[in-house]
């Protein structure tokens, strides 16, 4: 037989595009259109519906950046359309390619009931099936003219990312506002041909199945009269029945399709727009669920559900009904799909507390799955937190974005720092916006690394952000792909249904130990410094606010601010969303975030101050020092207060050859005439910290222009060029502080170096006006270390200092919380910080031996998506602690983040709980969220070893019980003695809930 394959394939392509798809709507009449352009920010629905309309013609430009226009379309269904399916086709001027990132609409009936959304790939609204003819049509559209930020020339700086700079030029042109006949048979034919055409292209050219499909397609096209597509579509479909009914091979890959719309809680739009994006998508999906009995849709991020409940009750009501059917599924159990590298221990825990609690309280749903398709890497502290929240499974596809190494598994057990293992799945379809096209499915099957041992994978299916979610076309594809020869099978399922099958078929999956490092987006640890500092400061203050408010409640009967703490936690958790805390959102988002953090910090300081004044009582002269850190400090117990003690003196002297020498009996630091630290001598260990001939506390400036994703990425080549900022404008003494001033480019830098209790405190102020530069602070250390530790949630994670393999080389920028620590046996150095997350560690060998250089990342200046990223004044605090053990690093990390507070008073405050082992760190002391008045204490082993400790509640306790993070009992309640013995494995996390007794408890 002659080979006419490419001819038939080209014929299918043209006929489908030029004849069949246009025949889906064979007849149409224009609708009358009126519009009201809302003058400013979005208005309530009732106001938009009621506003007066002016006529507007199709073809008219509309929509300045970030505007809202309320359209009303009216018309009458022609009498001759009786018996047909009639739809409104409403094209706001969509760009069919930029699916989630442009104008969008939500359609309402005149009574305000939401109908569905309008998006580039869903421009229809069903009017009648079958039509009577003569129906009056009236629909309202709340249309948002969101600008395209990520355009055809992506990553080009744009002023569109903030309403204040975006201008007022209309961005869109009304394209089509019609009533039309929908020819269902032609649409079904289009779907048949699309699915078969897709499949055909994925099959080997020499496979019989491919040729059977080709011949059936040819017969179908032959059966079609191109002048009467509607009249012959049924006959064409009949030719395809055979190939469409041939079942899948027994070994076919099995895909669980989960309807989904990945909605970034803020990104290339402000938070307020996400509220509307969620309303549009949820309306669209409740409408689709009503039409499609097999379809299942999953929506994550409790915050987004809470927005619906608060702001769009009419949509919320529909969602609640759909959830009851079991097909609109709350997915995951976090408040938002947060970053997981940077959130601190308690914040990471509270993501689960508030997320899970919302789904439990609203729907009785307690998910065991964690849904984080898009998060930029996963800290090794996370598995323990997932388990402590009562979950056990994780889904993400993001690691497929890694630039260097291919992850070896798609289904595996992920083991965290404490040994907790979480059943984890990476969808091999490599997207969270699957459309169930043949190419995607074939890629999933081919790509699946666990073939042979496992057969199931998940496909999050639907357009995210502003795309409206899953489309009826995707549902139609799934119906044809349920059991089709040559294709993976496709079944709509919930995440839980998928995981149950995946676990059952794979009893011994491979194990991955340690962090899931994303080899991309490493600059998200540094970009938008003020957002990051706001997060770190808020986390520290939330800890203190709970601690002091709980102490005041128990000791003095003061009211515990339940409502404020709940609200403030949720605000901080929202801002940990994976485009806010990482600094990858538009200017508008970060401008608002800075203001929000200011308000959060102010309110938390107020709560702390009120509680501490209640505890301090009437001022009687003297100063009381409150220690909010989890370790004793200056004789003040952790979580207690005591009268101020005098601080140790620091000796200052001029240095030979210029500069100054600082000494406090533990550490002797030499700062040279350039303002650089040329010596940091540990007087007790008699050991130098700075390698011979090197200088620490050295600011270094790099060119930093990544190939893509400016705010997200720093590419490895940034290290090829570096400028050491050794020139000082001034090096002087201010009391016992050495002040160093430098200027470079258009920027200036002032450092204040102080010695306190064996640590060198470095206060860095930068007035930053650079473009596409990366500023680091370098500390060459005379330590030979093959690995180093960086704090993560409830412990620390080790990373290599060498680059033996591509996996190690790829970790050239990594995350720390409060400390980075490196050591030789018996002696180590810690760097602690109250504000930065990014760092890099490298090694050198010279005639003096091996040295290790730690550099903390201070500032970047990417120009996309915020063209003014980080311009202006910044302040960072770090401390170098020579001679530090890992335990010292933990303690100093807390100290720099929890400064002492001074309040008038003189009567000491006894801590609510004390622990007699410094390795056991208390991360939370609070009253139970249920308002019972129970005291909740959370602690963990912080050094990676075993700990036996005694925990003493210094208040009468009737009953104590271990709980999960949601404060639900996990053990049997016990009547404790005065001391509670605890025994912890490395990094083990424990939560205790203590019921308060009316009278002091009797010791056993
Ligand atoms: Zn995302």
* d(C-alpha 394, C-alpha 792), whole Å: 19
User: Which of 366, 374, 483, 609 is the catalytic position?
Assistant: 374
3 state SS of 204: coil
3 state SS of 359: helix
Per the CB < 8 A criterion, the answer to whether 597 and 532 are in contact is no
Q: Could you say which DSSP state residue 338 is in?
A: B
Centre of ligand 1 to C-alpha 860, Å, is 22
Residue 431 token pair: 């997207």
For 250, residues 6+ apart whose C-beta sits below 8 A from its C-beta are none
* d(C-alpha 263, C-alpha 278), whole Å: 7
Q: Could you say which DSSP state residue 398 is in?
A: G
Centre of ligand 1 to C-alpha 966, Å, is 26
Centre of ligand 1 to C-alpha 433, Å, is 11
- Residue 964 annotated among the catalytic residues of the structure: no
Q: Give the count of beta carbons closer than 10 Å to the beta carbon of residue 260.
A: 30
Centre of ligand 1 to C-alpha 586, Å, is 14
Q: Match 């007794």 to its residue by tokens.
A: 997
End-to-end CA distance of the chain: give it in Å, rounded: 94
Centre of ligand 1 to C-alpha 262, Å, is 6
Per the CB < 8 A criterion, the answer to whether 85 and 192 are in contact is no
For 652, residues 6+ apart whose C-beta sits below 8 A from its C-beta are 660, 661, 662, 733, 736
Per the CB < 8 A criterion, the answer to whether 630 and 922 are in contact is yes
Centre of ligand 1 to C-alpha 307, Å, is 18
3 state SS of 980: strand
Centre of ligand 1 to C-alpha 266, Å, is 9
In the chain, % helix, strand, coil (3-state, to 5) comes to: 30, 30, 40
**pTM assigned to the model:** 0.98
Centre of ligand 1 to C-alpha 377, Å, is 12
716 burial class (0-12, 13-18, 19+ CB within 10 angstroms)?
middle
Q: What is the dihedral of CA 469, 475, 476, 478, to 10 degrees?
A: 130
* d(C-alpha 383, C-alpha 152), whole Å: 39
Radius of gyration of the chain (CA): 31
* d(C-alpha 562, C-alpha 333), whole Å: 22
Sign of CA dihedral 140, 145, 146, 148: positive
Per the CB < 8 A criterion, the answer to whether 722 and 777 are in contact is no
* d(C-alpha 844, C-alpha 851), whole Å: 5
Centre of ligand 1 to C-alpha 340, Å, is 13
* d(C-alpha 239, C-alpha 221), whole Å: 9
Centre of ligand 1 to C-alpha 260, Å, is 13
For 675, residues 6+ apart whose C-beta sits below 8 A from its C-beta are 659, 697, 728, 731, 738, 740, 741, 742, 751
Q: Where are the alpha helices (DSSP H) in 182-240?
A: 184-202, 208-223, 229-238
Q: How far, rounded to the nearest angstrom, does the alpha carbon of residue 50 sit from its chain's CA centroid?
A: 38
Per the CB < 8 A criterion, the answer to whether 812 and 853 are in contact is no
Centre of ligand 1 to C-alpha 263, Å, is 7
Residue 105: predicted pLDDT: 98
Q: What is the dihedral of CA 770, 774, 775, 779, to 10 degrees?
A: -170
Q: What is the dihedral of CA 222, 227, 230, 232, to 10 degrees?
A: -30
**pLDDT block averages, 10 residues each, the chain of length 1004:** 95 98 98 97 96 98 98 98 98 92 96 96 97 97 96 89 96 98 98 98 97 98 98 98 98 98 98 98 98 97 98 97 97 98 98 98 98 98 98 96 97 98 98 97 98 98 96 98 98 98 98 98 98 98 98 97 98 98 98 98 98 92 95 97 88 97 97 98 98 97 98 98 98 98 98 97 98 98 97 98 97 98 97 98 94 98 98 98 98 98 93 97 98 98 98 96 98 92 97 86 42
950 burial class (0-12, 13-18, 19+ CB within 10 angstroms)?
middle
For the chain, how many helices (H) and strands (E)?
A: 19, 52
Per the CB < 8 A criterion, the answer to whether 954 and 640 are in contact is no
Residue 511 token pair: 């194990």
Per the CB < 8 A criterion, the answer to whether 311 and 275 are in contact is yes
Centre of ligand 1 to C-alpha 578, Å, is 6
Per the CB < 8 A criterion, the answer to whether 379 and 793 are in contact is yes
3 state SS of 643: strand
Residue 142 token pair: 């709340």
Residue 900 token pair: 């002492």
Strands of 989-996's sheet in order across: 920-927, 935-941, 989-996, 957-963
Q: With CA atoms as reference, report the closest residue to 156 among 775, 862, 861.
A: 862
Centre of ligand 1 to C-alpha 518, Å, is 14
Centre of ligand 1 to C-alpha 770, Å, is 28
Centre of ligand 1 to C-alpha 838, Å, is 21
Residue 298 token pair: 């999953």
Q: Match 């009992």 to its residue by tokens.
A: 969
* d(C-alpha 265, C-alpha 275), whole Å: 8
Task: Please provide residue 91's backbone torsions phi and psi, each rounded to the nearest 5 degrees.
Answer: -110, 110
């Amino acid at each position: 037989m002659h080979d006419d394959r490419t001819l038939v394939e080209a014929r299918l392509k043209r006929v489908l595009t030029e004849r069949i798809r246009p025949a889906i709507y064979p007849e149409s009449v224009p609708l009358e259109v009126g519009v009201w352009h809302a003058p400013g920010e979005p208005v309530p629905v009732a106001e938009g519906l009621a506003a007066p309309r002016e006529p507007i013609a199709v073809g008219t430009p509309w929509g300045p950046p970030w505007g809202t226009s309320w359209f009303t379309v009216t018309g009458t269904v022609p009498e001759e359309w009786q018996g047909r399916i009639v739809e409104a086709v409403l094209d706001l001027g969509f760009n069919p390619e930029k699916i989630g990132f442009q104008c969008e609409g939500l359609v309402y009936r005149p009574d305000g009931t939401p109908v569905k959304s309008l998006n580039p790939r869903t421009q229809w609204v069903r009017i009648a099936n079958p039509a009577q003819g003569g129906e009056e049509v009236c629909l309202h559209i709340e249309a948002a003219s969101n600008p395209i930020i990520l355009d055809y020339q992506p990553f080009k700086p744009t002023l569109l990312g903030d309403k204040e700079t975006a201008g007022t030029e209309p961005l869109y042109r009304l394209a089509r506002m019609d009533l039309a006949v929908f020819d269902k048979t032609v649409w079904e034919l289009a779907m048949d041909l699309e699915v078969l055409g897709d499949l055909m292209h994925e099959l080997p050219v020499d496979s019989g199945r491919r040729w059977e499909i080709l011949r059936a397609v040819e017969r179908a096209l032959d059966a079609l009269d191109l002048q009467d597509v509607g009249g012959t579509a049924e006959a064409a479909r009949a030719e395809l029945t055979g190939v469409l009914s041939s079942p899948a091979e027994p070994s076919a890959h099995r895909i669980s399709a989960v309807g989904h719309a990945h909605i970034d809680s803020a990104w290339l739009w402000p938070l307020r727009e996400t509220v509307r994006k969620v309303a549009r998508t949820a309306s669209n999906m409740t409408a689709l669920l009503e039409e499609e009995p097999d379809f299942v849709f999953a929506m994550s991020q409790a915050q987004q559900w809470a927005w619906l409940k608060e702001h769009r009750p009419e949509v919320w009501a529909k969602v609640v009904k759909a959830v009851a059917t079991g097909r609109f599924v709350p997915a995951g159990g976090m408040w938002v799909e947060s970053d997981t590298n940077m959130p601190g221990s308690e914040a990471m825990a509270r993501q689960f507390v508030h997320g899970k609690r919302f789904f439990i309280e609203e729907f009785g749903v307690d998910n065991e799955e964690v849904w984080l398709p898009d998060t930029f890497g996963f800290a090794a502290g996370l598995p323990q937190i997932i388990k402590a929240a009562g979950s056990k499974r994780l889904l993400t596809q993001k690691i497929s974005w890694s630039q260097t190494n291919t992850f070896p598994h798609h289904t595996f057990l992920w083991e965290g720092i404490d040994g907790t293992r979480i059943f984890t799945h990476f969808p091999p379809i490599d997207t969270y916006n699957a459309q169930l096209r043949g190419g995607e499915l074939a890629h999933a099957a081919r790509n699946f690394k666990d073939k042979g041992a496992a057969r199931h994978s998940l496909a999050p299916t639907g357009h995210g952000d502003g795309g409206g979610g899953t489309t009826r076309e995707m549902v139609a594809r799934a119906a044809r792909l349920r059991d089709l020869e040559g294709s993976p099978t496709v079944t709509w399922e919930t995440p839980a249904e998928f995981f149950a099958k995946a676990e059952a078929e794979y009893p011994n999956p491979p194990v991955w130990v340690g962090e899931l490092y994303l080899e991309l987006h490493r600059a998200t640890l540094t970009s938008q410094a003020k957002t990051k500092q706001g997060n770190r400061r808020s986390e520290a203050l939330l800890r203190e606010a709970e601690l002091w408010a709980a102490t005041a409640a128990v000791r003095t009967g003061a009211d515990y601010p339940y409502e404020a703490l709940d609200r403030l936690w949720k605000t901080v958790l929202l801002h940990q969303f994976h485009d806010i805390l990482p600094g990858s959102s538009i200017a508008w988002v970060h401008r608002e975030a800075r203001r929000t953090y200011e308000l959060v910090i102010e309110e938390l300081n107020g709560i702390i101050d009120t509680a501490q004044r209640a505890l301090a009582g009437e001022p009687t002269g003297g100063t009381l020092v409150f220690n909010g850190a989890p370790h004793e400090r200056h004789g003040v117990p952790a979580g207690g207060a005591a009268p101020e003690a005098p601080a140790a003196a620091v000796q200052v002297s001029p240095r030979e050859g210029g500069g100054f020498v600082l000494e406090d009996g533990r550490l002797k630091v030499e700062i040279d005439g350039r303002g650089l630290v040329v010596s940091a001598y540990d007087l007790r260990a008699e050991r130098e910290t700075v390698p011979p001939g090197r200088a620490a506390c050295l600011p270094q400036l790099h060119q930093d222009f990544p190939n893509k994703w400016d705010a997200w990425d720093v590419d490895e080549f940034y290290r090829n060029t570096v400028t050491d900022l050794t020139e000082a404008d001034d090096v002087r003494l201010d009391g016992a502080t050495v002040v160093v001033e430098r200027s470079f480019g258009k920027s200036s830098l002032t450092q204040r170096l102080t010695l306190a209790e064996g640590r060198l405190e470095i206060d860095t102020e930068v007035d930053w006006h650079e473009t596409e530069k990366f500023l680091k602070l370098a500390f060459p250390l005379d330590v030979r270390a093959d690995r180093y530790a960086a704090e993560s949630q409830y412990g620390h994670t080790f990373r290599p200092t060498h680059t033996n393999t591509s996996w190690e080389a790829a970790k050239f920028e990594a995350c720390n919380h409060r400390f980075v620590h490196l050591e030789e046996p018996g002696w180590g150095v810690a760097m602690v910080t109250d504000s930065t997350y990014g760092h890099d560690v490298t090694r050198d060998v010279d005639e003096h031996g091996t040295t290790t250089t730690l550099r903390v990342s201070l500032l970047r200046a990417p120009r996309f998506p915020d063209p003014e990223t980080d311009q202006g004044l910044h302040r960072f605090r770090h401390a170098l602690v020579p001679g530090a053990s890992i335990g010292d690093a933990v303690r100093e990390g807390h100290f720099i983040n929890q400064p002492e507070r001074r309040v008038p008073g003189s009567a000491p405050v006894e801590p609510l709980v004390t622990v007699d082992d410094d390795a056991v760190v208390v991360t939370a002391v609070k009253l139970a969220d249920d308002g019972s008045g129970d005291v909740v204490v959370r602690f963990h082993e912080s050094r990676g070893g075993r700990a036996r400790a005694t925990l003493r509640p210094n208040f009468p306790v009737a009953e104590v019980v271990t709980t999960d993070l949601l404060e639900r009992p996990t053990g049997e309640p016990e009547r404790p003695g005065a001391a509670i013995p605890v025994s912890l494995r490395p990094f083990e996390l424990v939560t205790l809930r203590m019921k308060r007794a009316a009278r002091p408890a009797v010791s056993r």
